[in-house]
Structure 1
Amino acid sequence: MADIGIDLGTGTTVVCHPRDGVVYDEPSLLVEWPARRGRELILGNDAAALDGRTPPGARTGRPVRGGAVTDLSLVRTYLHELLRRTSRNRWRVRRPHAVLSCPVDATPLERRALLEAAEEAGLGHADLLPAPLAGALGCGLDLADARVQAVADVGAGTAEIAVFCRGTVLTRRSCRHAGDEMTAAVRTHLREHHGLHLSEAAADALKVRASAAREPLAAEGRDVATGRPRVVTVEVAEIEAALAPVVRRAVGALADFLDDVPVAGIPDLLAGGVVLAGGSAPAPHLRDELEAALGVPVKVPDRPRTCVAEGLALAGGRPELRARPA
């Protein structure tokens, strides 16, 4: 059995243990801070607090972009520090085993790069599981079921949907119209309509708050014309309108998976619907738009942010589900 499940997302990394539950849930961000002796590695929430505030010589980076590894050295460093922080005195193993998430359409080269980086970072053994299948496990779905099931995973870098039967993917779709593009849309709206320049972190926080707020929201940034600090009040409806084009593009890219679903599986989807997971699942109107486009029920689980990592931890006891490239 694997010791941990690691959902290494573009926006957030979640680590889950089969017995202890979620032990890490922080931004996928690493800052290499210049120090007297080499460098200081700052991870997660602490790194996010420094984003945009680093001195010359500091390096800030995300380990993955759009669900894919773009810098092997950065991924190795990030995972090594992540393992040091999460496994210390916890499971009494020096080189823990892990199941990591990967995009459902990841190429063999991308899979191998992630596995090699993980094992070089200090894992004794690593396996991969596509994020939608892991999300299904984390939501309590039975992957061995003969019925056709579907899970959509909308994160920061990618949105993807997979339809599977007995743990085998029948059809899939993915796109880059996801959380990062939604954040960019919020920044553009504030700049064009309010003359306010927001940091990426501030725009992302505003987007998250808008998913649950009913009252106008305060946005703090820099006035585009004067360069001075300024606070503006933004209606929730404005944020929803700014996000709407991105949501429609994501839904449009994912919805045509129905064309490839075996006709015998359509009654299964009508009965079971589609599970919507991922950190961007609560985005305003995403569920409603997807439901309207598909014509089947769309359900958001209780823990959409962490269900993929929870499924990865469970997959440690299911070797038939884990995949390693040839």
Structure 2
Amino acid sequence: MGAIGIDLGTGTTVVCHPREGVVHDAPSLLVEWPSRRGRELLIGDAAAALDGRTPPGARVGHPVRDGAVTDLGLVRLYLRELLRATAHGRWHVRRPHAVLSCSVDATPLERRALRESAEEAGCGRADLLPAPLAAALGCGLDLGDPRVQAVVDVGAGTAEIAVFCHGVVLARRSCRHAGDEMTAALRAHLREQHGVLLSTSVVDALKTAASSAREPLAAEGRDAATGRPRVVPVEVAEIEAVLAPTVRRAGAALGDCLDDLPVAGVPDLLAGGVVLVGGASLAPRWREELETALGLPVKVPERPRTCVAEGLALAGGRPELRSLPA
């Protein structure tokens, strides 16, 4: 059997099996729930359903913050439960081989800590691959191509770009102008301008729906003055205007990587364009703002949310791709 791909992100974790495809796509969240039997652990959708509704004594944990692992103990616990929840005996492997995503800016110490945490959680062996390279592989790009290629990965905590050639990263940039910043900006705007308090999940849903909606969207929350339930209609153009500054800041920060790009690689990017992936890239204006900032055509693949995990699973069968230096 090949390796399972685990894209452990700030907002979402996606697990892909090399033969069965995506078997897990849920929030990166763990809830330790007090019960009569002791401590009950919930992850993913089950944990998200209880977020904000937890009683005293419950613990809500995010294994990744702003694109980085901050609590290795929590990561080990989360990955252990993730392996249990996704296996269900289907792989018949007690300690599966896994390939995990990492940031293009991850230090050797951060890489080692993540690898060891995965192995201690139950992986027989854990390899790492920078998320943009995994996304390229999942989108069908050839990492061994001598032409220069580029991928932008926009997650909840970070947005990053990698420009690579023949499997080697030539230029890279990372910034924190990403999904969480857009969510915070939209939540603050709706509170100040419409007087409504919204949960993170509702704001995230509005943010994503605005990319394809044509009619006003309904924001369901609590009136900031009275505390009563309230539904507010919000125009799509208004949401786009609130999100646009974050997207422009990200585009400017990521565009700086072109300063490090060899001049000979520019024609390749003009011909092939830049691939845009990541769950937060589904929010409005990303494609347009990146094309303006980079001066290059930007393409969105068919499955931008899951292509990183799909690429990680493919990399498991290709030893030369595992743990490529960023």
Q: Which range, TM-score by smaller chain?
A: over 0.9
TM-score (norm 1): 0.98
Aligned pair count reads: 325
In structure 1, C-alpha distance between the alignment counterparts of 2:298 and 2:214, rounded to whole Å: 23
Q: CA deviation at 1:324?
A: 8.1
Superposed counterparts of 1:150-229, under 5 Å: 150-229=150-229
In structure 1, C-alpha distance between the alignment counterparts of 2:233 and 2:276, rounded to whole Å: 31
In structure 2, C-alpha distance between the alignment counterparts of 1:61 and 1:129, rounded to whole Å: 25
In structure 2, C-alpha distance between the alignment counterparts of 1:167 and 1:38, rounded to whole Å: 48
The answer on whether the counterparts of 1:127 and 1:324 sit within 8 Å (CA) in structure 2 is no
Equivalent residue, structure 2, for 1:265: 265
Equivalent residue, structure 1, for 2:32: 32
- The secondary structure found in structure 1 opposite 2:26 is strand
Superposed CA offset, 1:301-324 (max 9, x none): 000000000000000012112118
- The secondary structure found in structure 2 opposite 1:303 is coil
Long gaps (5+) in structure 2:
none
Match for 2:290: what amino acid? L
In structure 2, C-alpha distance between the alignment counterparts of 1:110 and 1:3, rounded to whole Å: 21
- The secondary structure found in structure 2 opposite 1:147 is coil
In structure 1, C-alpha distance between the alignment counterparts of 2:103 and 2:5, rounded to whole Å: 15
Equivalent residue, structure 2, for 1:310: 310
Equivalent residue, structure 1, for 2:95: 95
Equivalent residue, structure 1, for 2:143: 143
- The secondary structure found in structure 1 opposite 2:321 is coil
TM-score (norm 2): 0.98
Equivalent residue, structure 2, for 1:15: 15
Q: Does 222-231 or 137-146 show the bigger shift?
A: 222-231
Indicate the RMSD between aligned Cα atoms, in angstroms: 1.1
Change (3 A) 1:324 1:296: closer
Q: CA deviation at 1:94?
A: 0.2
Superposed CA offset, 1:38-61 (max 9, x none): 211111111111110000000011
The answer on whether the counterparts of 1:198 and 1:222 sit within 8 Å (CA) in structure 2 is yes
In structure 1, C-alpha distance between the alignment counterparts of 2:188 and 2:112, rounded to whole Å: 37
The answer on whether the counterparts of 1:2 and 1:99 sit within 8 Å (CA) in structure 2 is no
- The secondary structure found in structure 1 opposite 2:53 is coil
Superposed counterparts of 1:241-252, under 5 Å: 241-252=241-252
Long gaps (5+) in structure 1:
none
Work out whether 1:323 is the aligned partner of 2:301.
no
Identity within the alignment, %: 79
Superposed CA offset, 1:89-119 (max 9, x none): 1111000000000001011111111111111
